[in-house]
């Protein structure tokens, strides 16, 4: 059931969002479904995925299937699902990621130098946040190319995370994902496929911030709601954004960015 009063601007569109059982992915799934899109969300945890789907179905057509973005076989199973159930894909959103707390639980209050990060921890985060984006896009790009159209949105974070003390390997993973996005946009431009980046624009209430610090940030109103992603992701999934590619869009500045784009277009 679509509870949104907004017009169903995405009616007939299909969207796949990785890592969408919570946080930014969940918020984007809610926005897309509420605007008429059929949405498939993925995550590693089947229990969390099932719970998320149950919550999201009140907004529209949402289904879920497990996927590990580090595993090509797992990705290909989801590709098979998309081909069998939809026969097409309009928008792929690479969102699955893990945070600094996987290598240092107290990364904000007690940052560690890069040489104290374990090789295993580094590889695990890069495999998810960077290689995962590559593997998922690599699997689905041929489908988009065959269609002759499509959109890919890669979720990123502020540039501060890419140069902040104690932020290896998270910073490099996001910097790498941005370079990946720019090159993907160039590689796919001739195929009528738009590739853009979207980031919240500040610290966001997701599972990547330690609980103790989370409460402090909430009390000081420093945290953005994941719903800040709603308006820009609906725009990027819509026909209104056709031909816009290679852009880095900050959700908190979306209105100003969109106005600038419209001015340039006119």
What does the pLDDT look like over 9-53, one tens digit per residue? 999 999 999 999 999 999 999 999 999 999 999 999 999 999 999
At residue 204, the pLDDT reads 82
- Closest alpha carbon to 239 in 106, 134, 129, 90: 90
153-200 pLDDT, tens per residue?
999 999 999 999 999 999 999 999 999 999 999 999 999 999 999 999
* pLDDT at position 7: 57
Q: What percent of the chain has pLDDT over 70?
A: 91
Is 194:245 a contact under the CB 8 Å cutoff? yes
> What does the pLDDT look like over 71-94, one tens digit per residue?
999 999 999 999 999 999 999 999
What domains sit in the chain, N to C, each tagged with a CATH number?
Answer: 14-265 (3.40.50.720)
Amino acid 203: pLDDT: 82
Is the whole-model pTM more than 0.85? yes
Confidence band, pLDDT 50/70/90 cuts, at residue 5: very low
Query: Measured between alpha carbons, how far is 11 from 147 in angstroms, rounded to an integer?
Result: 18
Residue closest to 108 by CA, chosen among 98, 99, 116, 95: 99
pLDDT for position 92? 99
pLDDT of residue 210: 53
Residue the block writes with tokens 């031909």: 243
Residues labelled catalytic: 170
Q: Which one-letter DSSP state was computed for residue 59?
A: T
CB 64 within 8 A of CB 74: no
SS3 155: strand
CB 223 within 8 A of CB 205: yes
Instruction: Tell me: pLDDT of 6 over 90.
Output: no
- The predicted pLDDT at position 263 comes to 85
Nearest to 170 by CA among 105, 224, 252, 101: 101
């Amino acid at each position: 059931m679509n509870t949104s009063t907004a017009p169903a601007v995405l009616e007939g569109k299909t969207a796949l969002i990785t890592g969408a059982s919570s946080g930014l992915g969940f918020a984007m799934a809610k926005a897309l479904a509420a605007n008429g899109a059929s949405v498939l969300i993925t995550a590693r945890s089947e229990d969390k995925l099932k719970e998320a789907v149950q919550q999201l179905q009140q907004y529209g057509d949402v289904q879920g299937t497990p996927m590990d973005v580090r595993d090509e076989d797992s990705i290909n199973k989801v590709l098979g699902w998309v081909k069998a159930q939809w026969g097409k894909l309009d928008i792929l959103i690479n969102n699955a990621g893990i945070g600094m707390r996987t290598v240092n639980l107290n990364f904000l209050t007690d940052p560690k130098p890069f040489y104290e990060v374990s090789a295993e921890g580094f590889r695990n985060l890069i495999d998810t946040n960077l290689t995962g984006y590559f593997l998922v896009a690599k699997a689905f790009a041929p489908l988009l190319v065959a269609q002759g159209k499509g959109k890919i949105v890669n979720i990123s974070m502020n540039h501060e995370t890419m140069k902040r003390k104690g932020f290896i390997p998270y910073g490099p993973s996001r910097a790498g994902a941005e370079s990946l996005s720019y090159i993907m946009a160039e590689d796919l431009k001739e195929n009528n496929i738009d590739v853009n980046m979207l980031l919240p624009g500040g610290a966001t209430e997701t599972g990547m911030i330690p609980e103790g610090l989370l409460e402090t940030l909430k009390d000081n109103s420093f945290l953005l709601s994941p719903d800040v992603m709603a308006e820009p992701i609906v725009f990027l999934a819509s026909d209104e954004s056709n031909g816009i590619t290679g852009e880095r869009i900050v959700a908190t500045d979306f209105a100003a960015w969109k106005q600038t784009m419209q001015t340039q277009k006119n």
